[in-house]
Amino acid sequence: MEAEFFRKAKKDGLNDEEAKSAFNNNMMVTGLLSEAPAEFAKQVNRRWLVSAYEAGDVVLHDPFAVSCSFH
């Protein structure tokens, strides 16, 4: 994700410092990537995976799995 961001930033003529700053500015004050999951999925051209859950279910995920929840 960051790699894609930097590629785009370079293409648009930003130098490394400007690109870093721009990415940081895109991080939320809460540390989140985005508060807009629909727009986010569109930007990165990926889908959200959804499910009902039952007591006893467990989802294991690695530290790079991107997630959020419904409103």
Binding flag, residue 24, other proteins (CB under 8 A)? yes
Residue pair 5/23 in contact (Cβ under 8 Å)? The answer is yes
User: Shortest Cβ distance from residue 13 to other proteins (Å)?
Assistant: 19
- The whole-angstrom distance between residue 56's C-alpha and the CA centroid of its chain comes to 28
Q: Using the 8-state DSSP alphabet, how is residue 46 labeled?
A: -
User: Shortest Cβ distance from residue 44 to other proteins (Å)?
Assistant: 7
Binding flag, residue 44, other proteins (CB under 8 A)? yes
- The residues of the shown chain that bind other proteins, judged by CB under 8 A, are 1-3, 6, 16, 20, 23-24, 28-42, 44, 46-71
